[in-house]
Amino acid sequence: MPSDPALSARGASIGYRDRAVIDGLDLNVPRGAFTALIGPNGSGKSTLLRALARLQSLSSGQILLDGRALATIGPREAARRVGILFQGASAPEGMTVSELVQEGRYPHRSLFGRWNRADEAACARALRLTKLEALADRPLDTLSGGQRQRAFVAMVLAQETGILLLDEPTTYLDLPHQLDILELAGALVREEGTTVVAAIHDINQAARYAAHLIVLKDGAVVTAGPPDAIVTPALIEEVFAVKAMVVPSPVDGRPLILPLTRAEREDS
């Protein structure tokens, strides 16, 4: 783990009403790497990502952005450095793809600042990376689910943040679109040094694309580290209550999880 994490949480607790979703959590997000958050539903992945993006306030503890308390950084400056693709984003009726993407420039513009060349270039790049150029003038409500998801990705790309948080970016997408999004995130990490944190349901996909895994259960970090160092049958059983075999993938040697059928469990 690099010595200066891009984002970290120190004793972070988050509660809705009086139920603590996350309680005294510590974690470090390595800079310039692809980190995947994995854990069962309700383990606090979304809540944690929302807190890292200032959408959720902490009841105690703090989040550090480049070593500085996030709470002391102004909202616009924070939005220039951390972007989030959250679940359930919806656009107003009739809004087109390019209109949505242009909103991503908001934190970069002063109150009376004019639309400039940097804004234009950022939007063009975002549309290119998400392969939405041909759909730029289409209203979002006429697009497929996968295309709409890409449009929201394009908006957060236009925000040009060094840190990108993705809350279940692949949920509800079919396999090719899932891979598109993961490949895009991977390319941003490799080519531009972006720090990516993605909550991902599919453990195999997470192990395949991420260099660093953070495993959550009941609002606490169970373990964190490179996939091949931490993914074991014991971890999968502890976190997901599933008996599985873990084998190195024939493609890249990363851990591949094979859940056992009932018959196989009884045999072993």
Q: Please give the residue ranges that form the binding site for another protein (CB under 8 A).
A: 53-55, 74-80, 83-84, 86, 89-96, 99-100, 103-104, 106-107, 109, 111-112, 156, 159
**What are the backbone dihedrals phi and psi of residue 266, each rounded to the nearest 5 degrees, phi first?**
-70, -30
In the bound state with another protein, the residue whose beta carbon lies nearer, of 28 and 102, is 102
Q: Least distance from C-beta 116 to another protein, angstroms?
A: 14
Residue 83: other Cβ atoms inside 10 A: 24
Q: Least distance from C-beta 47 to another protein, angstroms?
A: 13
* Residue 130: both structure tokens together: 């998400």
In the bound state with another protein, the residue whose beta carbon lies nearer, of 10 and 54, is 54
In the bound state with another protein, the residue whose beta carbon lies nearer, of 53 and 224, is 53
Q: Least distance from C-beta 41 to another protein, angstroms?
A: 20
Q: Least distance from C-beta 109 to another protein, angstroms?
A: 7
* Residue 60: both structure tokens together: 């105690």
Rounded Cα distance between 243 and 90, Å, is: 38
Q: Least distance from C-beta 100 to another protein, angstroms?
A: 8
Note the residue count of the chain.
268
In the bound state with another protein, the residue whose beta carbon lies nearer, of 6 and 156, is 156
What Å distances lie between residue 138 and 34, 105, 134, CA to CA?
Answer: 32, 19, 9
* Residue 155: both structure tokens together: 């908006």
Output the CA torsion sign for 135, 140, 143, 145: positive
Rounded Cα distance between 247 and 233, Å, is: 10
In the bound state with another protein, the residue whose beta carbon lies nearer, of 181 and 203, is 181
Beta-carbon contacts of 145 under 8 Å, excluding residues fewer than 6 positions away, are: 172, 173
